[in-house]
Copies of this chain bind each other. A is one copy, B any other.
Amino acid sequence: MSKLRLKISMSLDGFVAGPNQSVENPLGIGGMRIHEWAFALEAWRAQHGLEGGEVNESAQVMKESVENLGATIMGRNMFGGHPGPWDPNKPWNGWWGEDPPYHHPVFVLTHHPRETLVLEGGNSFTFVTDGIESALEQAQRAARGKDVSLAGGAKAAQQYLKADLVDEMELSIAPTLLGSGERLFEGLGDNLHGLELVRTVAAPDVIHLKFARQ
């Protein structure tokens, strides 16, 4: 069965992005800090055409997190912080440039219709305006039996969690505070919607908690 797998980094005080997010600073002030554990990895650097980097306990978690994925779902803000309807005169590609790191179909949750954007390297962005279930169905079809990655941000994650549609969650907690910004666990009430902790990996500058539907 094709699973929906949420992978997200969070600060110790619960934020997945810092305050004052913008197109220039998509993760908000300080938001890069919760991803530092990843940027330091050889695996991450290689993915982005860079040499060097560390091999540590996070490497296996990162490897698993990209295995067997056939499609990705993300929120509008994660695609690009561009507010309001799409401007047909501005061929906005978010901040992913011409060759995004996905290499499979990406489905963007938005209220504003737009034609599918096809880029290099097997990347495409399809804009879904009829809700999270529709996006999941389209993504699962596109994934052809592989799993679907839920890439964030917070609001997209919350919607799928609330609907009990997340099958796995790899939550990477960075031992740092952001103080304000966008919280992951908000509006979800007092339960994890069927997810239970199944694995903990301690690594430099991060703790990876894997949750699965039991």
Contacts and interface: CB of A to CB of B under 8 A. Distances in A.
A214 interface: no
A209 B173 CA distance: 11
Contacts of A163: none
Contact of A185 (B12, B29, B202): B12
Nearest to A187: B179
Contacts of A192: 12, 175-177
Chain copies in the assembled complex = 2
Size class of the A contact interface (CB-based, 8 Å): 20 to 34
B177 A13 contact: no
A188 interface: yes
Interface string A174-214: 01111110011110111110001100101001010101000
Given A13-B14, A14-B13, A14-B14, A188 B179 contact: yes
A30 interface: yes
Nearest to A207: B200
A191 B177 contact: yes
B175 A211 contact: yes
Contact of A175 (B13, B14, B196): B196
Interface string A1-44: 00000000000111000100000000001100000000000000
Nearest to A178: B190
A30 to B, nearest CB: 5
B200 A190 contact: no
Contacts of A209: 12, 175, 207
24 contacts: A12-B171, A12-B185, A12-B192, A12-B209, A13-B14, A13-B183, A13-B186, A18-B190, A29-B190, A30-B190, A173-B173, A175-B196, A175-B197, A175-B209, A175-B211, A176-B191, A176-B192, A177-B188, A180-B190, A197-B205, A200-B200, A202-B202, A207-B207, A207-B209
Given A12-B185, A175-B211, 15 more contacts: A12-B171, A12-B192, A13-B14, A13-B183, A13-B185, A13-B186, A18-B190, A29-B190, A176-B190, A177-B189, A177-B190, A179-B189, A202-B202, A207-B207, A207-B209
